[in-house]
Amino acid sequence: MKSFFLLFIVFSLSTACSNSSDNIVIGQETVSITAVEAPETLTIGQRAVFKVFYNVPTTCHEFLRVNFGFEGKESTISVVTSIKDGNCNNLTNVSQTVDVEATPNEAGLFTFRFFTGNDAQGNPTFIVKEYDVAPRPIG
């Protein structure tokens, strides 16, 4: 994927779950991204940071990873949590953040699709950010 971005994940989160080693991981869940703070522009060779906010459904959900899917110059991004066994409480309107970094290596139109969940028909929905990546300014 030399024609795409080099993506790096930097985690900056405050967890709502206990990191107790007594809890056993019983599963994983892709959770809804609720908002994205994104740069206004992207430039070749310059690092850009997307601040991704995601929903934490229970006190047993803990950040696990960011998943990336690539097709040409389109990237689909989702957040996956682990689910730990224990005395879980449902949470309402609790979110955490993770920073996703991208450094474009060529010019062109790039699309970032951040997974927000599924609609009533079961189709995935996204927050979409599009960029016409310009060459690095000279000088």
Q: Across 1-139, where does the E strand assignment appear?
A: 6-10, 25-31, 33-37, 48-55, 61-71, 74-84, 95-103, 108-118, 124-133
Domain locations in the chain as residue ranges: 6-117+127-133
> Strand 61-71 and strand 74-84: pairing?
antiparallel
Banded model confidence at residue 18, pLDDT cuts 50, 70, 90: very low
User: Is pLDDT of 124 > 70?
Assistant: yes
Q: What is the pTM of this model?
A: 0.79
| pLDDT of residue 118 exceeding 80 | yes
Going by pLDDT thresholds of 50, 70 and 90, the confidence category of residue 10 is very low
* 52, β-bridge pairs: 36, 98
Query: By C-alpha distance, which of 79, 77, 68, 88 is closest to 25?
Result: 88
The model's confidence at residue 8, banded by pLDDT at 50, 70 and 90, is very low
Give pLDDT, residue 2: 40
pLDDT in tens, 27-79: 899 999 999 999 999 989 889 999 999 999 999 999 999 999 988 889 999 99
